[in-house]
Structure 1
Amino acid sequence: MTKLPSSIFNEVIGPVMIGPSSSHTAAPSRIGNLAGQLSGGTLSRVTVTFEENGSFATTYRGQKSDQGLAAGLMGMSPHDPRLSDALSIIEQAGIALTFEVKSFEADHPNVVYLDMVNQQGELVTVKALSTGGGRIEFNEINGCPVYLAGDYYELVVMFEGDRSFSLEQQLSKICRVLTGAGITLHGSFVSDNGKAGVESRAVIVVHMREQLSQERMDSIQVLCGKALLRNLVPVMPVMASEQCEVPYTRAEKMLEWCSQQGDVPLWQAAVKYESARANLDERNVIEMMREIAEVMESAIATGLTGDFFMRGFLTPSAGKLHAALKQQKFIPTGMLDMATVMAVAVMELNSSMGRVVAAPTAGSCGVLPAAVFSALDALGVPSEERGERAAKALLSAGLIGVFISEQSTFATEVCGCQAECGSAASMAAAALVDMAGGSALDACNAAALAMQNSLGLTCDPVAEQVEIPCIGRNVGAVSNAVSSANLAMFGFKGNLPLDDVISAMWEVGHTLPDTLRCTGKGGLCTTPSGKRIKKEVDSIRFAS
């Protein structure tokens, strides 16, 4: 199956999630959910294995990957408030969950294997990836190569041992049953592990946009004998479609379209794109983003209270900053005063495993809400218009994120923090230009300039917590976005088009050593104070 173009809601703005990490908390919950569905029935035991040189190996406790996987295996979504207690909940359910770190060949720093046994004694193994910003891929089921992204209803048929039939013929029979029942199919494939005899394994996968009835599953079971059947429910908000054609995936082509339409603003180009990608009415696209904007605004309000416990080594400070601002103690910087406080508030809530929106990641989740909602205040937008204006600004940011996702990555494990806070600054700069009435070209120039300013940014979170330097970098990214927006709208040109700068980010990211890409093995992590903080955090973590 060919990977579909990025969706603003699947890959860029979202998921709505419990912090602290989209790659290492939200994505594992989605992986666990899909894996649990594949296992079927009630789980008995699960072994999770991380590669010793990958990012999960050193961060899975600090960034709550263990909690995310446990939550998903129990059927929880990334925004389920029970996620923070998922390890206790899965233990109380009598499911034996163990984590191992081993040496094996891995083609991505966020590879995870799950070996699962349900109470019927059925064994299912999967290989999955967290690819950045909450996006996932399943690459193997029972050793058979697959591609699942959690964006379809999937019929999965798993065979074991010698087969007296052709997989292709079996797939044809299944498809005839489904189409005969009026079900539209969106692609299918067969796969095996290349072995014979008792070690032989094979898989059939059929993609659909609707769930099969039990009656239909029973009829397919008759066709497939003792094979294990599963009908997976999507874990992504926007489903895929075989007939998916988007108008552009690069800024250059989008700007051509905007020009042809009479220089329409960026938000209209974003709505056009996502309507095609998600197969949604354009008004529905805006309403979906309005709901996300409400979650962002709520995160700001909750973060400002400071009424929560940060699960790292810091204590909430946004409330104190807000008080100092209201007392006019800040060095005045205009809208950046409140934007600074908002960015800190959201990131501190994220660190507490509160409810935030990854934009495009949880490690950069303070940038966009701080930029957008402080600008709404600074621009004097009436209360009755705030929801619509915020949604359009976020959609503008989301389209810039699509271009980044399609040509590079949001995964800090692949390209460092320039892929997270750098991308967020780029997206926020475009959103601000759109809010201020600038053109789509101005927005792309602002996005390019903000990303230029972020190239080479490393990922070195102290003690594997999304706190230091992450919170400060979110604040810096907002400042970068505001400055870049003003420069681009009023005369300064960065000269390099956005697509070129995105390509440069990808190249620069791959030249960074893995010690500076969210492994805890370099930069601030290995300074004397960084080591001391990690030792203190670990002593508390392992004692609890």
Structure 2
Amino acid sequence: MTKLPSSIFNEVIGPVMTGPSSSHTAAPSRIGNLAGQLAGDTLSRVTVTFESKGSFATTYRGQKSDQGLAAGFMGMKPQDPRLSNALVLIKEAGIDLKFEIKQFEANHPNVVLMDIVDTSGEQVTAKALSTGGGRIEFNEINECPVYMAGDYYELVIMLSEKPSRSLEQLCSKVQGALTRADVKLHGSSVSDNGKQGAAWRGVIVIHAREKLQQELLDEVQELCGNASIRNVAPVMPVMASSDCAVPFSSAETLLEWCAGQGDIPLWKAAVRYEAARGKLTESEVIEMMADITDVMETAITTGLTGDFSMRGFLTPTAAKLQKALDNGQFIATGMLDLATVMAVAVMELNSSMGCVVAAPTAGSCGVLPAAVFSALESFSIPQEERREAAAKAMLCAGLIGVFISEQSTFATEVCGCQAECGSAATMAAAALVDMAGGSVQDACNAAALAMQNSLGLTCDPVAEQVEVPCIGRNVGAVSNAVSSANLAMHGFRGNLPLDDVICAMWEVGNALPDTLRCTGKGGLCATPSGMRIKEEVDKLRFAS
């Protein structure tokens, strides 16, 4: 199946989620949700296996992957507040959930193997990936290769006996029935596990943008005999479409497109892109983003209260920082004073497993809200205009994020923190330029400079908590964004084109040792104090 262009809402700005990690909390909840839908009856037991050298093996407890998966198996979405208690809830539901760490062949650091048994005794196995920023991929069902990204209604047909006709013929027959029922199809795939006899398994996956009615599923069942039929619902906010055509996919092609559009602002280009990608109206795009910025603003407000417990080893400090700022005790840095407080507030809320927006990841979720909402104050945007202004700024950031998604990654497990805080700074720089009235070219230059300043940034969260150095790096990323925006708008041209710098980030990230890519094995994690803190956190965790 051909990979579709990145969506601002699916791949960049979002998900709205319970902290602390988009790769390790939100994505597992989405993986668990899809996997749970493959069961034919109520879940009875699930065994989850992580690869011993991957990122999940060392971080799944600290970054709440176990809780995310448990929540997903019970049908919860990433933003469900019950996620923080999911391990208790799944036990109360009578589902036997186990986690194992084993050696197996894995081509990505975030691989999840699942062995699922429902109350009728039916067993399904699946392999999935968390690919960064809450994105997921299913690569195998019952050892058969598949591709599912959670952005279609998937008709999944699982066979345990070879059909009398070929899989391709059976798929064609099913597609014919769907087409006669006026269901528009968006592609399909067939595969088997390559085995013979009783060990043979086959899978057909058919993609659509609508839920199939039970009568139609019954007809499909008749065509497929004893096969197990599932209509799996999407978990992503924007549906895919096989016939979408976006106007550009890189900074270079954006600038070429804008040259033919007159004096178009970056936010407008972002709206046009996402409307084409998701088959949405332009007003729907703006309103969707406005809803997301509402969550961001609430996260700032909640984070400033400090009325919560962080799940690692720090205690909330944003309220104290705000008091110091109000009393004139900060070293004055303009809008960065307020942005500093806001970034800390959101990240502390994230650590408490509060509701935040991964933008582009939960580990960098303080950067964009801090940059945009402090800029709204600095630019004295009237209150009645702020919601739309915030949405437009975040769309600008999202479009720059699309170029990162297309040419690199947001996965710190692949490219280190330069892919998280570095990407967030890059996106924020462009948003600030647009808010200040700068050109699309200025925005791309600012983004390139911010990414330049972030190359080589490692991921080494102490005790596997998204606290140290993550909170401080969010504050530093906002400063990087503001400085880069000012330089780009006022004559500084010391940067390479944005696409080149994004590709350099990919190369640098892949050159980093795995000890510096969210495994807890290097950098600050390996210092004497870092190891001591981990020991203390582990004692508390296992005691509870």
Q: State TM-score, norm by structure 1.
A: 1.00
Contact persistence 1:161–1:196 (CA under 8 A): no
Q: C-alpha separation between the residues in 2 aligned to 1:260 and 1:223? A: 52
Q: C-alpha separation between the residues in 1 aligned to 2:389 and 2:240? A: 28
Deviation at 1:10, TM superposition (A): 0.1
Counterpart residue number, 1:118: 118
Q: C-alpha separation between the residues in 1 aligned to 2:40 and 2:403? A: 37
Q: C-alpha separation between the residues in 1 aligned to 2:172 and 2:199? A: 25
Contact persistence 1:445–1:494 (CA under 8 A): no
Contact persistence 2:162–2:202 (CA under 8 A): no
1:11-57 Cα offsets, whole Å, 9 max, x none, are 00000000000000000000000000011320000000000000000
Say whether residues 1:259 and 2:259 are aligned partners: yes
Secondary structure at the aligned position of 1:138 is classed as strand
Deviation at 1:281, TM superposition (A): 0.4
Say whether residues 1:199 and 2:202 are aligned partners: no
Greater Cα offset, 255-264 or 328-337 = 255-264
Q: C-alpha separation between the residues in 1 aligned to 2:162 and 2:296? A: 53
Secondary structure at the aligned position of 1:290 is classed as helix
Counterpart residue number, 1:19: 19
Q: C-alpha separation between the residues in 2 aligned to 1:141 and 1:6? A: 24
**One-letter amino acid matched to 2:397:** A
Deviation at 1:439, TM superposition (A): 0.3
Q: C-alpha separation between the residues in 2 aligned to 1:339 and 1:79? A: 25
Q: C-alpha separation between the residues in 1 aligned to 2:534 and 2:494? A: 40
Q: C-alpha separation between the residues in 1 aligned to 2:422 and 2:388? A: 26
Secondary structure at the aligned position of 1:115 is classed as strand
**One-letter amino acid matched to 2:110:** N
Deviation at 1:2, TM superposition (A): 1.1
1:475-510 Cα offsets, whole Å, 9 max, x none, are 000000000000000011133000000010000001
Deviation at 1:163, TM superposition (A): 3.4
Deviation at 1:263, TM superposition (A): 2.9
Secondary structure at the aligned position of 2:157 is classed as strand
Correspondences of 1:302-381 after superposition (within 5 Å): 302-381=302-381
Correspondences of 1:411-490 after superposition (within 5 Å): 411-490=411-490
Counterpart residue number, 1:102: 102
Contact persistence 1:448–1:494 (CA under 8 A): no
Q: C-alpha separation between the residues in 2 aligned to 1:22 and 1:53? A: 20
Secondary structure at the aligned position of 1:256 is classed as helix
1:268-326 Cα offsets, whole Å, 9 max, x none, are 11011001001000111001000000000000000000000000000000000000000
Q: C-alpha separation between the residues in 2 aligned to 1:352 and 1:294? A: 19
Correspondences of 1:134-153 after superposition (within 5 Å): 134-153=134-153
Deviation at 1:522, TM superposition (A): 0.2
Query: Alignment length, in residue pairs?
Result: 544
Greater Cα offset, 128-137 or 162-171 = 162-171
Q: C-alpha separation between the residues in 2 aligned to 1:213 and 1:433? A: 48
Contact persistence 2:452–2:495 (CA under 8 A): no
Say whether residues 1:10 and 2:5 are aligned partners: no
**One-letter amino acid matched to 2:344:** V
Contact persistence 1:343–1:369 (CA under 8 A): yes
Gaps of 5+ in 2: none
Deviation at 1:164, TM superposition (A): 2.6
Correspondences of 1:381-420 after superposition (within 5 Å): 381-420=381-420
Say whether residues 1:286 and 2:294 are aligned partners: no
Structure 1 vs Structure 2 CA RMSD: 0.6
Secondary structure at the aligned position of 2:86 is classed as helix
4+ runs deviating over 4 angstroms: none
1:99-133 Cα offsets, whole Å, 9 max, x none, are 00000110000000000000010000000000000
Q: C-alpha separation between the residues in 2 aligned to 1:253 and 1:166? A: 43
Contact persistence 2:151–2:239 (CA under 8 A): yes
Identity of aligned residues (%): 77
Counterpart residue number, 2:528: 528
Deviation at 1:141, TM superposition (A): 0.2
Deviation at 1:265, TM superposition (A): 1.0
**One-letter amino acid matched to 1:33:** N
1:177-216 Cα offsets, whole Å, 9 max, x none, are 1111111111111110011100000001110010011111
Say whether residues 1:211 and 2:192 are aligned partners: no
Counterpart residue number, 2:156: 156
Contact persistence 2:271–2:395 (CA under 8 A): yes
Counterpart residue number, 1:516: 516
Q: C-alpha separation between the residues in 1 aligned to 2:249 and 2:132? A: 18
Deviation at 1:165, TM superposition (A): 2.1
**One-letter amino acid matched to 2:484:** S
Deviation at 1:259, TM superposition (A): 1.5
Aligned pair in 2 of structure 1 residues 162, 188: CA closer, same or farther (>3 Å)? closer
Deviation at 1:74, TM superposition (A): 0.1
Contact persistence 2:460–2:519 (CA under 8 A): yes
**One-letter amino acid matched to 1:277:** R
**One-letter amino acid matched to 2:35:** A
Greater Cα offset, 487-496 or 471-480 = 487-496
Secondary structure at the aligned position of 2:229 is classed as strand
1:222-276 Cα offsets, whole Å, 9 max, x none, are 1111110000000000000010111111000101111111131111110110010
Secondary structure at the aligned position of 1:344 is classed as helix
**One-letter amino acid matched to 1:403:** F
Deviation at 1:162, TM superposition (A): 3.7
Q: C-alpha separation between the residues in 1 aligned to 2:60 and 2:249? A: 33
Contact persistence 1:154–1:232 (CA under 8 A): yes
Deviation at 1:75, TM superposition (A): 0.2
Say whether residues 1:272 and 2:310 are aligned partners: no
Q: C-alpha separation between the residues in 1 aligned to 2:97 and 2:278? A: 36
Secondary structure at the aligned position of 2:494 is classed as coil
Q: C-alpha separation between the residues in 2 aligned to 1:409 and 1:176? A: 38
Contact persistence 2:39–2:124 (CA under 8 A): yes
Greater Cα offset, 347-356 or 260-269 = 260-269
Counterpart residue number, 1:175: 175
